[in-house]
């Protein structure tokens, strides 16, 4: 499943996912944008940057530059055309912090300062106005998304109501899928996920983020929580065949990752912390790697200190287990109980330890 860069990860500009590579349009220099009714123009004024500072318009799905220009006299411009309103980010000097926005085919102005990039004012895009309104509503509950902190049940319930109501009320907004995603992040309610998706207007369903939510609905129906995770087998680092069923009797985190996957490597310390904390309490991890180079795979295992069982057929995205479970983005994981039943999916950071705490007291 395609993962949306940054915004749908819910942790502002800290979370990424590695997806199957698609051809990315080579970045190009924008010289003289010409506004048109069926195109967007972004006119930016940012003080504090030297002339010649590179400015990139980043793709919201993969974080790659779509357009590149430079600052001149504190100003920069981009122009382009969209089939649907979509998430874009603007970076300065090839690094964060970023300006995040939803844009549509309109004339957009950005005003800000180098020392407060995240406070830049974006005007002219109706979809971005919806985005701003949504962020204001969930602002008091941002910690829930930033830290995956679910200990405050009252805050979770209130944020869940806000996201659900926004998605229902603004079913024709291209920001509604974001509200649905954030609701699912809080509730993990597969039934409500599908209901909210089905409520969206067809044009919104057809947008990139709408289609992503549709994929989430489909994925929720595969290997659902409460059902057994089918068995599988692959060679470990020594070439010995290992089956998931050989670990029956333990809580097992089936962790899909790869040495070349930056987001996976960033998540590994969290998995390692959970493993070290609960390995003596009937918990273990089974790493399924989408690597294609054995040396790189083993080096990453050693460098990151991942002392649990690992397996891979070294077939990259064609890994047979990844194909079996239709894995097209990593990291991903399944947590199964001692009888092999899926009890949670895609636990990250503190959420993983929190879940294990509730199970392995």
Residue-wise pLDDT tens digits, 36-52: 458 999 999 999 999 99
pLDDT of residue 348: 82
Residue-wise pLDDT tens digits, 232-254: 999 999 999 999 999 999 999 99
**Which residue do the tokens 């992040």 mark?**
185
pLDDT of residue 28: 36
- Which domains, ranges and CATH numbers included, belong to the chain? 14-123 (2.60.40.10), 135-221 (no CATH), 233-359 (3.40.30.10)
Least confident of 53-67, 237-251, 282-296: 53-67
Q: Where are the beta strands (DSSP E) in the chain?
A: 18-19, 40-47, 54-59, 65-70, 75-80, 86-92, 95-103, 107-113, 121-123, 233-235, 241-243, 251-257, 283-289, 309-311, 329-330, 332-336, 342-345
Q: Is the pLDDT of residue 148 over 70?
A: no
332 CB burial (10 A radius; 0-12, 13-18, 19+): buried
């Amino acid at each position: 499943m395609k993962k949306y860069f940054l915004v749908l990860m819910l942790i502002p500009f800290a979370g990424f996912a590695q997806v199957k590579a698609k051809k990315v349009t080579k970045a190009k220099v924008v010289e003289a944008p010409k506004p048109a009714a069926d195109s967007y123009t972004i006119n930016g004024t940012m003080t504090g940057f030297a002339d010649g500072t590179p400015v990139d318009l980043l793709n919201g799905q993969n974080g790659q530059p779509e357009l590149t220009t430079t600052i001149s006299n504190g100003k920069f411009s981009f122009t382009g055309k969209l089939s649907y309103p979509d998430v874009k980010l603007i970076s300065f000097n090839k690094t964060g912090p970023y300006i995040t926005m939803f844009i549509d085919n309109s004339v957009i102005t950005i005003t800000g300062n180098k020392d407060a990039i995240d406070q830049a004012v974006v005007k002219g895009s109706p979809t971005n106005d919806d985005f701003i309104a949504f962020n204001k509503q969930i602002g008091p509950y941002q910690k829930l998304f930033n830290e995956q902190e679910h200990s405050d049940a009252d805050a979770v319930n209130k944020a869940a109501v806000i996201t659900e109501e926004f998605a229902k009320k603004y079913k024709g907004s291209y920001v509604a899928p974001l509200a649905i995603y954030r609701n699912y992040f809080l509730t993990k309610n597969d039934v409500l996920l599908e209901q909210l998706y089905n409520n969206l207007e067809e044009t919104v369903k057809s947008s990139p983020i709408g289609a992503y939510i549709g994929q989430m609905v489909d994925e929720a129906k595969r290997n659902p929580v409460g059902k057994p995770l089918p068995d599988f087998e692959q060679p470990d680092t020594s070439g010995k065949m290992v089956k998931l069923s050989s670990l029956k009797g333990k809580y097992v985190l089936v962790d899909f990752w790869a040495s070349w996957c930056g987001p996976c490597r960033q998540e590994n310390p969290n998995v390692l912390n959970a493993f070290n904390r609960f390995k003596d309490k009937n918990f273990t991890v089974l790493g399924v790697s989408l690597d294609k180079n054995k040396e790189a795979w083993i080096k990453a295992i050693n460098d990151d200190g991942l002392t649990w069982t690992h397996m891979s057929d070294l077939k990259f995205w064609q890994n047979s287990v990844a194909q079996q479970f239709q894995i097209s983005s990593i990291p991903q994981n399944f947590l199964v109980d001692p009888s092999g039943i899926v009890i949670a999916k895609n636990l990250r950071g503190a959420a993983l330890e929190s879940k294990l705490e509730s199970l392995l007291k």
